[in-house]
Structure 1
Amino acid sequence: MLSRKTDDQAHAARTMWNLLHAWWQLMPKDERTLVNADAAIRQARKDIDFLAVLPAQAAQAVLKTYFQAWKNCWEGRADAPNFKGRFRSVMSVDIPQGRDLNITRVHRRWGVVNIPKLGRVRFRWTKDLPVGKGANGDNRITGARLVKDALGWHIAFRVQTLGRKPEPHAGPEVGIDVGVTVPLALSDGTMYDHDEWLTGKEKAKLLRLEQRAAHRKTARKRAERTSGRLRATYDQIAGLRAKAKRRALDWQHQTTAAIARTYGTIVVEALTITNMVKSARGTIEEPGKNVAQKSGLNRAISGEAWGRTVMMLTYKAVQHGGTLHKVPAPNTSRRCSACGFITPGSRQSQAVFVCKNPRCGWSANADHNAARNVLHLYRMGLALIPAAGRAVARRARRVKPATAR
């Protein structure tokens, strides 16, 4: 019953967003103001009955989020907002007022929170929250957000804390190579690996569910609605995949936090992952080769989520006073990190590198060799300038020096 009521609020919030977007497209430009939009959603809540299940503060949060989306678009940070589909958008409800939550800790692992129009709801207590005596003007809860995924509804609290600027990290420099066989290899020889995200029984269950879903889908007649049993199978598949994603996120958070705490300067490759996972199928005139092997490699690369790992390393390095730099990626896995030469045949496999230069002969793990090359490129001064830095550099070059009078 509680989940059904939360679903109704989320659908009402999505409908409110779509009504705002339709209103925005119909109104003249000079009348697209926050005041007029507020009057429009107030009238909509009176005219459409099911919108009343959404609390008034949550409706105001939808309005502010919509206008912020347009602001982000105008400033070039995001695309223009669009309609939200029923099955393509994430179901969520915003609770903008922290004083309405009334959070109480009832157990070491559980707490109770007050959700408007839902009542008292129990949640899992995973992090310390500034409640009771620990809450003050600098450390307090300013709001929350209910989000639904394949595993159910979850609550995320917005916490305002007074942080201090971290001291510069005095740790060593390190180069990192990302891969499929070894997810993270460091230039000092450290390797970070993980097990499969799903156990053997869970993988077998996922295979059975996918086969069952495929069988029921082929048995369905054309233009026939999806049956309840097929939807239940899809929900079970989504639950297992969500569980795997949650385990992957947990591993990435713990690993990147450990690296950010240990090293002051982190260097990674500037990879274009979208190009790396392109299909090798080719065209009818020029069919591709090793299509199945390339598809398996693409799935492995997507499963490791290298871009998300770099994103986590970026902000966690800043939190600990460190820095993250990117260097060009070409030939980092083919070049010998001992002599600096690229000799054909040195990369013998995904795990072994043996330099074929007669004067060298250095051998090591292939990922360790690539990580050493990544760090060496940074020490040579070949770190790439971020996009914002390049724009500033271009403007600086265009400015002529002032002449003395």
Structure 2
Amino acid sequence: MQQQALRDFATAMANLFRGSHRRPSWRKRGRSAGFRIVAVKPTDVHVLNRRWSAVRIPKVGWVRFRRSRAVPEARSYRVTRDRAGRWQVAFAAVPDPIPGTGTGTGTIVGVDRGVTVSAALSTGALLHCPGLRPGEQARLLRLQRRLARAKSGSNRRTRLKAQIGRVKAREVDRRKDRVEKTSTAFARRYDLIRVEDLPIGNMTRSARGTLAEPGRNVRQKAGLNRSILAHGWGLLVRRLEQKAPGRVEKINPAYTSQTCNTCGTRDRQARESQAAFRCRACGQQANADVNAARNIALGHQWATTWVTARGGDADRRPVNREPQRCTPPLPADV
């Protein structure tokens, strides 16, 4: 056990210096609790009926589990216990990629991720990630208040933490289910999926700072971080890259929300509100998230078009022509 711990520590430090992992920390109670079994034989897994199977665990014996999908031919599996107290077994296998439309037309979709709307598509569709229901939110608030009054290390505090974990697990399960279904639909329906290249790790970093230099608007930033993580931005892109390898393209998100998709005019005041976008040059009115998704779907091709047509460069908007106010339409009886 001591040698294995030393090997694990050496691997963690090597991953840290390579830049692929974060600095190792102490394991927290109730998180990532589980173990991995390697060198699994085909005879170690038996199918009992159409819903249940059994797996052989060393020093434990045969353990039944509810089968959510067909068990693949895996060389290892991991048994974990989540914070809701549920035991799960996951078999390690490389899934087959999901084919696209296969029509050769090269259908492209742009995806703009947000807080109010989880994902806006260039087709005009608005997708929302489900969360806790009002009754569940009220129950979670009551449990958190009771947890704040519970004594540290008491059985009551342990019991309350388990109840909170079960409530939060429902939100996590719904988010994962929606991400899986959405990513599968995208991989089957479109040949090329373009998303924003967002540094989610930096965007959700805490703003509290240090004792010498405390941060500002810490509570507001914490609420924004929770909203970003609750919509599953990173999970959606990660599952898309796994299901549609080579068909996911990340686009620089700069000025996609301020640029008109019709005429290419960049105007900071064109976005009148969170959902309303009105171009002061051509008069186009659309949903702000859908307009940004259409710019993402183009892959900034509008920049090259405007450079050749009206001068300027690809980094700045052309200055040869100022935005013109559109003429209001004439009444129908004129």
TM-score range, shorter chain: 0.7 to 0.9
1:99 pairs with 41, 44, 61, which one? 41
Report the alpha carbon displacement of residue 155 of structure 1 after superposing the two structures with TM. 0.6
Pairwise CA RMSD: 3.3
- The corresponding residue for 2:149 is 215
Within 5 A, what are the aligned runs for 1:313-328? 313-318=240-245, 322-328=246-252
1:200 pairs with 97, 119, 134, which one? 134
Mapped pair 1:121 → 2:43: no
- Which sections of structure 1, spanning at least 5 residues, go unmatched? 1-15, 25-62, 131-139, 383-405
- The corresponding residue for 1:53 is none
- The corresponding residue for 1:231 is 158
CA distance in 2, matches of 1:100, 1:148: 24
1:254-280 Cα distance to aligned partner (Å, 9 max, x none) = 101111111111111111234434566
Report the alpha carbon displacement of residue 68 of structure 1 after superposing the two structures with TM. 5.5
Within 5 A, what are the aligned runs for 1:5-404? 16=1, 19-20=2-3, 24=6, 69=12, 72=15, 75-78=18-21, 82=24, 84-85=26-27, 87=29, 90-99=32-41, 102-130=44-72, 140-151=73-84, 152-159=86-93, 170=104, 171-195=106-130, 197-216=131-150, 220=151, 226-277=153-204, 288=216, 293-318=220-245, 322-357=246-281, 360-379=282-301
Q: Is the 8 A contact 1:98 1:142 kept in 2?
A: yes
1:70-93 Cα distance to aligned partner (Å, 9 max, x none) = 66456553357x564352752221
Partner secondary structure for residue 141 of structure 1:
coil
Q: Is the 8 A contact 1:334 1:342 kept in 2?
A: yes
The structure-2 alpha-carbon separation of the partners of 1:70 and 1:20, relative to structure 1 and needing over 3 Å to count, comes to: farther
CA distance in 1, matches of 2:214, 2:60: 59
Report the alpha carbon displacement of residue 372 of structure 1 after superposing the two structures with TM. 1.0
The structure-2 alpha-carbon separation of the partners of 1:185 and 1:96, relative to structure 1 and needing over 3 Å to count, comes to: same
Report the alpha carbon displacement of residue 237 of structure 1 after superposing the two structures with TM. 0.9
Report the alpha carbon displacement of residue 102 of structure 1 after superposing the two structures with TM. 3.0
Q: Is the 8 A contact 1:266 1:323 kept in 2?
A: yes
1:335-388 Cα distance to aligned partner (Å, 9 max, x none) = 11111112242111111111122xx00001111000011122344589xxxxxx
CA distance in 2, matches of 1:160, 1:260: 17
- Which sections of structure 2, spanning at least 5 residues, go unmatched? 305-334
Q: Is the 8 A contact 1:178 1:306 kept in 2?
A: yes
Amino acid aligned to 1:20:
Q
Q: Is the 8 A contact 1:100 1:114 kept in 2?
A: no
CA distance in 1, matches of 2:93, 2:202: 38
CA distance in 2, matches of 1:286, 1:106: 59
1:22-68 Cα distance to aligned partner (Å, 9 max, x none) = 6x4xxxxxxxxxxxxxxxxxxxxxxxxxxxxxxxxxxxxxx6x6676
Q: Is the 8 A contact 1:112 1:122 kept in 2?
A: yes
Amino acid aligned to 1:117:
K
CA distance in 2, matches of 1:287, 1:112: 52
**Structure whose alpha-carbon radius of gyration is higher:** 1
Amino acid aligned to 1:369:
N
Percent identity for Structure 1 against Structure 2: 36
CA distance in 2, matches of 1:107, 1:205: 37
Partner secondary structure for residue 270 of structure 2:
coil
Partner secondary structure for residue 186 of structure 2:
helix
Report the alpha carbon displacement of residue 100 of structure 1 after superposing the two structures with TM. 7.6
- Counting matched residue pairs gives 300
1:207-252 Cα distance to aligned partner (Å, 9 max, x none) = 1110111122xxx4xxxx5111111101111222122112211111
Amino acid aligned to 1:237:
I
Partner secondary structure for residue 345 of structure 1:
helix
Q: Is the 8 A contact 1:101 1:115 kept in 2?
A: no
TM-score, normalising length: structure 1: 0.65
TM-score, normalising length: structure 2: 0.77
Amino acid aligned to 2:290:
H
1:297-352 Cα distance to aligned partner (Å, 9 max, x none) = 3321121131222111122211xxx5111121121111111111122421111111
Higher helix content, 1 or 2: 1
Partner secondary structure for residue 242 of structure 1:
helix
CA distance in 1, matches of 2:161, 2:248: 40
- The corresponding residue for 1:400 is none
Partner secondary structure for residue 244 of structure 2:
helix
Q: Is the 8 A contact 2:179 2:232 kept in 1?
A: no
Amino acid aligned to 2:133:
T
Report the alpha carbon displacement of residue 124 of structure 1 after superposing the two structures with TM. 0.8
